[in-house]
Amino acid sequence: MGQVVCKSLFQSLFDYKTAKYVIAKNKKVGLLYRLLQASILAYLVIWVFLWKKGYQDTDTSLESSIVTKVKGVTFTNTSDLGARLWDVADYVIPPQGENVFFIVTNLIVTPNQRQGTCAESENIPDGLCYKDSDCPPGEPVVAGNGVKTGRCLRAGKMQRGTCEIFAWCPVETKSRPSKPLLGKAEDFTVYIKNFIRFPKFNFSKTNVLDTEDRSYLKFCQFDPKNLYCPIFRVGSLVSWAGSNFQDIALQGGVIGIQIEWDCDLDKAPSECNPRYHFSRLDNRFSEKSVSSGYNFRFAKYYRDTEGVQFRTLMKAYGIRFDVMVNGKGAFFCDLVLIYLIKKSNFYRNKKYEEARELGVCLQPVESSRQGGAPETEDAAGPGLPELPEAQDGGGSPKENGCVCRQLLEPARSGHLGNGKVNVEQPQNLQTVEA
């Protein structure tokens, strides 16, 4: 029994199987089959090609540059700073506009700070003490303003005090103002100039109108119908992000400005237009959250008549603007060039620098059943007909009953000029039957 099974399996190795098709004269099955074919075709045409534009080549490696400039002035009169005019150099940080910039809208000012000893702020937990041993000398106050000196300073008969520190004194003790110092900053303007380039298609554009009118940017302002005047009112930016300017100016915040370039480069360059989106990036849903708002400290340093340095410390609240650019370019002609036109092989190989072998058909070979093989001299002699342009034959020397000579493709041989292959006089060719 086992021998019979093994013999049967061995013999089956040499069996040849071929497919057999049965035509069923059934209208329901035939209709279902055609509907399935039509559905697949509709999916490819409507969804893949028309909607998703799958026939296009895309470039997502967008190169972009951002230049920003803020303009506007305002006047304040406070007990700490007195009468003061604020211009761009005072409230914009950094002064050279980039894709991130900050506008000061509120301040806590601690003037005339000098290096010396003073009591640490009561709002610093590590600075609290009951006795001198709680303030080891030379130890920095965690999240504080200076270095402990070894003394515990108590006011009156209070048991708890604060450590004496060596620091810039007096330390900052004031709370945030109830109204923004630069509440009128909502009327300031921001100029956001964006240059973009799709390197794959060598396509460049900017979001500024191409005009020789030098006064254009002095009088225009951005709106949905005027995309190529990127001058924005600060209050409008905040409003478009879904926030109130006076609220965000009080404790600060972060606004995102997104510029999107989604371009169909099959169309005219004028159809490639920027789209703007504005959003609030920090936590604005809970005003009491520690993560909401935006602030930082900086100081301005001076020297008195005796050469002693002192400073004015400022805790700045304001609006940070993050400008983000993204986009993609889609192009159809590149695919036409490398796949659909007559010389597509040449352009495709130049584009990807491939080095394949081409089989160039020199002369048809007569069938051996019609009286023998042709002479080699006729194929290589003076009567050689004009050669066709090289076609990618998959690298096989035996193609359609032709005598073939193996040639290197242009990227490797260097024998290609004006889209044609220059073939030297063939020698010692052999006849190959189909």
Q: Which residues are annotated as a binding site for ATP?
A: 69-71, 189, 295-297, 315
Residue 279 backbone phi and psi in degrees, to 5 = -150, 155
Cα distances (angstroms) measured from residue 255 to each of 171, 234, 284 = 31, 10, 11
Collapsing DSSP to helix, strand or coil, 37 comes out as helix
425 Ramachandran zone, left/alpha/beta (phi>0; psi -120 to 50): beta
Tokens of 380: 């290589």
Burial of 146 (0-12, 13-18, 19+ CB in 10 A): buried
The alpha carbon of residue 34 and the mean position of all alpha carbons in its chain are separated, in whole angstroms, by 44
Total residue count of the chain as it appears in this document: 434
In angstroms, rounded to a whole number, what is the distance separating the alpha carbons of residues 269 and 181? 45
Q: How many other CB atoms are found less than 10 A from the CB of residue 205? A: 19
Q: Which amino acids are annotated as binding site, given as ranges?
A: 69-71, 189, 295-297, 315
Collapsing DSSP to helix, strand or coil, 349 comes out as helix
The one-letter amino acid at 329: G
The two most distant CA atoms of the chain are separated, in Å, by 130
Q: How many other CB atoms are found less than 10 A from the CB of residue 34? A: 10
Reference 354, options 362, 345, 341; nearest CA is: 345
Print burial letters for 265-301: b (CB count within 10 Å at least 16), e (below 16). Answer: beeeeeebebebebebebebeeeeeeebbbbeeeeee
Local structure of residue 39 (DSSP, 8 states): H
Tokens of 290: 């520690």
In angstroms, rounded to a whole number, what is the distance separating the alpha carbons of residues 223 and 236? 10
Reference 184, options 107, 101, 245; nearest CA is: 245
In angstroms, rounded to a whole number, what is the distance separating the alpha carbons of residues 231 and 243? 20
